[in-house]
Amino acid sequence: MGQLDNKVTVVTGAGQGIGKAIAERLGAGGATVVVTDINEATAKETADSIGNGAVGIRTDVTSRESVDAMVAEVVATFGRVDALVNNAGWDKASPFLASDPADWDRVMQINLYGVLNTCKAVLPLMAEAKSGSVVNLGSDAGRVGSSGEAVYSAAKGGVIAFTKAMAREMARYQINVNCVCPGPTDTALFSSLGGDDPKLRDALIRAIPFRRLGRPSDLANTVAFLASDEADFITGQTVSVSGGLTMS
């Protein structure tokens, strides 16, 4: 691609699934990838598989201290952060009336506060450099709602709105901030939320105009574009990668 050459790029939740595919795609495009995950072993495995100077760092996005320590390590090693991809996410499916308020906190902490924490640590560096890209992973649940994922939908709706507000605030520093919303994507998280039920899976596939689930690589290609120099004049946008399941 060339447009990612030597960009120091931090990807959260990149030990598996969509995050891993994003990290690998960015590395293939020439970026120097910082793979972060709550699971240090998978973060380091992903970094090793990417090569090109990639590093794996254990990071808990719900902890300001953990995020600050990771960013300090990245700056000490590479001197800067050119792109930030906020991918870390978690959900537990259940009807809202049957949900456990303790799970609300975890969903909000990981999906929404995780984005706030990383942006608070990274955006001042980008503002000083007067350049940078942020790509936040939202969800179509945050655009149109999703049964059994009410609090997750609320958190992802918050990510979409926060993305737009940051795009406005950071434009003066030539920083672009965009949001990518996966539709149903074939990952371990999707399986854990009922995606391994053949009936549900088939019903979803029938509802998607392209008649297939998303692949992690579908998301990775879109994120790589938005993190690259080719997307310099795109900011505040929300892009669904859903095979046409949602259209805006």
Q: Give the residue numbers annotated as catalytic, written as ranges.
A: 152
Helix (H) or strand (E) holding 191: none
In angstroms, the CA 205 to CA 223 distance is 23
- N-to-C CA span, the chain: 28
| Alpha-carbon distances, residue 129 vs 89, 97, 172 (angstroms) | 28, 47, 12
Q: Are 163 and 236 in contact (CB under 8 A)?
A: yes
Among 139, 238, 225, 237, smallest CA distance to 184 is for: 139
